[in-house]
Structure 1
Amino acid sequence: MKKILFFIIIGASLHAYSQDELKRKQQSIQQKNSENKEVPPPTEVSPNDPPPLPKEPIVFKINPDELYKNNILYKKEANVEGIFYRRNEFLGSFVTNTIVSTVRYRDAAFVDGDKIKVYLNDKVIEPEVLLDGEYKGFKINLVKGINKIDFEALNEGSASPNTAEFQVFDDKGTVIESSQWNVGTGYKATIVLYKEN
């Protein structure tokens, strides 16, 4: 019995001593090599990952009212009270030096059968695309000057309006723009990329 009591007293005192010793000796560990360089993130973008936010893109000034004046290319606005989407939607204009741009899009709300037609500088490049939950898209070689991309709503699916989320990347995988559109049948959502060189 005396042996057991002896071991309990010794164990308790060692435990208390080690706790006190740890409090006194606790220090932060210094990094041995402070010259480590940061590893850049990969440029390949996973198709389902949300894009990183763009770093304040340079905006190229375009007046959307002037752009949508051409009634041959753009359907005239027909909004009525309570219905806001019977109009063309300007998604912005941006300056870039990239040679190739990647454009991706998918249904922004629930998948309801939305279809679009895609134009580049008023020429059809995708005649009919059914939007679903996965990103679809294409790469375009940008020409010097204005590169206008129009997404025309061919329908509104089973729930109005035609909704889509889109992303535009430069050739390094950096997001130029990422947003959504909400347009009625026959109307277009437009983004303009201005290539400087």
Structure 2
Amino acid sequence: MNQYLSFKGQIFILGLMFGVLSSAYSQQEFGGDLKVKAAPVKKKEVKEAKIKEVKFSNEDFNKIKSYEVQGLDKNEYKVPEKEDYDAEKLAKRDQDLGVVKTGSGTAKVRYRDAAYVDGDKVRVYLNYVIIEPEVLLSGEDQGFDITLQKGLNRIDFEAINEGFAAPNTADFKIYDDKGEVISSNQWNIAQGFKATIILEKE
């Protein structure tokens, strides 16, 4: 038994000594400390892109045709003159309110101040004859009835003044003998100018 333990003890001591010697040899081999170095990253070469230079000769440019739109009408639009936007200049001219055709035997004409009541006055003509020498426009409808003659019946509204706020303005409507509106419009005229509408009886 003692011999068996003695033999095992000898093996243990030999193994212990071998381990110590191996550890010492390993430290000397790797410089004392074990260090792991990462493998260097290989860099890929980036090739520069080649830019191709395109050259045109004069002959090439002569072959290029301009783009043309076919089938369009010529643009004849003209920019309006400044005075077309000038309310004061527009008011200083006679105003044509158009021609209205009707089969009615009579017409009822009604008008009132278009904005706020500011003292606008008008003189009314029927076929160049004064039928209302002076009318003060109010906020309520007022007017007259006429019997239409066959053919043209001309009505003129002449601005006697412009009230407190220029120009002379009014809304008006004309009704036929059935009470239907056949004309609805507005005039904006300076003092001394006329707004004219013609009723044509068919």
Asked whether the two chains share a fold, i.e. TM above 0.5, the reply is: yes
1:111: which partner in 2?
117
Deviation at 1:195, TM superposition (A): 0.5
String of CA shifts for 1:147-188, please: whole Å, max 9, x gaps. 000000000000000000000010000001011000000100
Aligned to 2:99: 93
Moved over 4 A (4+): none
5+ residue gaps, structure 1: 1-78
Structure 1 Cα separation of the partners of residues 186 and 150 of structure 2: 26
Per-residue deviation, residues 76-135 of structure 1 (Å, max 9, x unmatched): xxx798322101101110111111100000000010000000000000000000001000
Residue in structure 2 matched with residue 147 of structure 1 by the alignment: 153
Q: In 1, distance between residues paired with 2:84 and 2:111?
A: 28
* Corresponding residue for residue 74 of structure 2: none
Structure 2: how far apart are the matches of 1:81 and 1:181? 16
Alpha-carbon displacement from aligned partner over 1:44-89 (angstroms, at most 9, x marks no partner): xxxxxxxxxxxxxxxxxxxxxxxxxxxxxxxxxxx79832210110
Match of 2:143 in 1: 137
What percentage of residue pairs aligned between the two structures are identical? 58
Between Structure 1 and Structure 2, the one with more helix by share is 2
Q: Residue 193 in 1 paired to residue 173 in 2?
A: no
Once residues 80 and 178 of structure 1 are traced to their aligned partners in structure 2, the CA distance between those partners, rounded to angstroms, is 23
Which residue is 2:24 aligned to?
A: none
Normalised by the length of structure 1, the TM-score is 0.58
Give the aligned residue type for 1:194. E
CA RMSD of aligned residues (A): 1.4
Larger radius of gyration: 2
Which letter maps to 2:112? R
In structure 2, the residue matched to 1:181 is: 187
